[in-house]
Structure formats: structure tokens, C-alpha cells
Amino acid sequence: MSLSVIVLAAGKGTRMKSPLPKVLHLLAGEPLIIHVLETVFPLKPAQIAVVIGYKKERVKEILSSYAVEIAVQAEQLGTGHAVAITEQIFSNFEGDVLVLCGDTPLLRLDTIVSLVELHQRNNAVATVLTADFPEPRGYGRIVRDEMGMLAAIVEEKDASPAEKNIREINSGTYIFKKDFLFEALKQVKNDNAQGEYYLTDVIKIARTKGLPVAALKTNDFEEVLGVNSQFELARAEAIFQRRLREKFMANGVSFIFPDHVYIERQVKIAPGVVIYPFVSLRGKTFIEAEAIIESHCDLKDVRVLPGTRVKSGTILENAII
């Protein structure tokens, strides 16, 4: 099956209270949107379109070294509108389109693969990734019919009191049959509480026409957490750091006090390395086998050769030890 990708990255991120576009805020040393792109590259999509808007030149600059096509959403008229403006980009493409948010950096590749596989098995026109949230406020709710099948996605501002009590939420990650998606978007209206064109209305259109839709519920709600505030960014950072440390520990790296070590995404650490507290490993740092990094070290783009002991308080950049 041929697959293409749309990444929605046009929003300002008002609740971030920052002059930066939301998707350019850093997580483990890299912009949120880069995490999303790096997650989907292993799928080898036919095309990747990124929808940008707020401070578009700054976002374009970050994306300049990536093989993506840009669509500009001059006015933020909703997720449906954002996807609709990419139609021309995919005019020669036949297959399915994966839609992702540029502010969900914790999404796992394995989950996306499972979503694609479910979509294929059900021959669905639309498939959505969902999760059960302990505190679902702010997210669209998943409404299921008496058979447990996906019936609709209701945005919180349009939800009834009963619908607001639903804990299963829409992650904002979907896969659609391309032809169905862009035809359905032409039927979406903005008669809702926010006056926007909701991508979620495409699900309702599919159900009305009796077309097959599907939903995959992830068991790990953390991976679909969006970043909409500085608090949520810090929460995502904590989760991402924990994941990195767990991955390295599973491969034989020893952390004396794991919670007090900061690691960026491109860092490599070989088995047998010992890392003390209050260490920052940044950029493309590579710690080779059986090295010891003592406390209060800050290494950026540094290669530490096998068996080396880096003494406390070492601060280095672009070096080999």
C-alpha cells in the first residue's frame, strides 16, 4: 500500500505564551516537529506535506534540510481546512494519507505501523488513533455505537455533559483513503462552536454513507499527549528523557541516579558506560564502551573513547576525549 503523510504545524500555540511557533519549541534538544518527522521517516512515505502558518518563515527554515513539501495555511480555519489545502500536493498520489499533529512528539513508530495495519485489514476509509485519558478535558471525545464501533468524534466545545464524561479521546492521528478524504472535506461545514472546519467531521460523513471506519486504542496514553503549554512541554520532556534512559539501561548502560541525567535524541551510549548524576549529554555525543562520566559534566558533540574516565565538572564541545 502506498502511504503519504500530512503534518499539521500551522498553529501559534497561544497557551505557550512564547514568541516561538509551538512546533519549534525544543524537546531533547530538537524542535517538536523534527521529532514527528523523524518518527515517520522509517515508513518511507511517498510524500510528506507540512502545513505551516504562524511565523511560517521560521518554520520553513527548520524544515529546509528535510524532504518535505510545504502548504501554507494563511488563516487558521481548523484542521479540516489545513488538510484540504494540501490536496494539490497529492494530485498524482494514489493510496492512503496519514495525518499527524506537529505537537505530538511522543508518538511511537510501532503504534503508527499498527494503525496502518488495522486500516488495511478493515479496508477502512478512515481510521483514528484513540486513548483512554484519566483527565480528558480539552480533547475531542470518541463516541461509539451500541456495537462498540466508532460512531463520531465530538470536540469538547460541542460536547454534551454526557459526552464530556467519556474518557476515550481523539489523538489527532488518522489515516484516510486519499480520494475519500479530499471529497469528504468538500462537504465539511463550519457550523460549530468554534466556527472551524473540523477534520473529525470526515468520520461522521463516512458513517452517514455507511463506509467502513476503524479506531485503534493505544494502551499508552502518554504517547498521544499534545504540547499546548509550557507545563505540557515539561511533561513531555520528562517522559521522553525517561524513555531514553530506559532504552540505554536495557542495553547495558549504568546510571547512578537516572532522573538527574539529561540526554538529547541523537546521543549514543555504548554498553558498559557508567554515568553519574547531574550530567548533560547533548548534540551528537557518543560515549563508547566502559567509559565513566562523573557528575556535573556537560558534553556537546563529544566523542568519549572506550574506557575513558571524564572527571567531574568537565565542559566540552566538539571534542574527542
Active site residues: 15
List the grid coordinates of 316: 566540552
Query: Which helix H or strand E contains 185, and what residues bound it?
Result: helix 178-185
Q: Are strands 26-27 and 30-31 parallel, antiparallel or unpaired?
A: antiparallel
Angle (CA) 221 225 230, round 5°: 145
Query: Which helix H or strand E contains 281, and what residues bound it?
Result: strand 279-282
> Cα separation of 210 and 188, whole Å?
17
DSSP letter at 148 equals: S
- Three-state SS at 247: helix
Return the closest-CA partner of residue 176 out of 221, 228, 212: 212
Return the closest-CA partner of residue 162 out of 148, 188, 144, 189: 144
- Cα within 13 Å of Cα(297), Cβ side: 25
List the grid coordinates of 305: 573513547
> Cα separation of 93 and 33, whole Å?
24
Four-point Cα dihedral 93, 190, 11, 164, nearest 10? -110
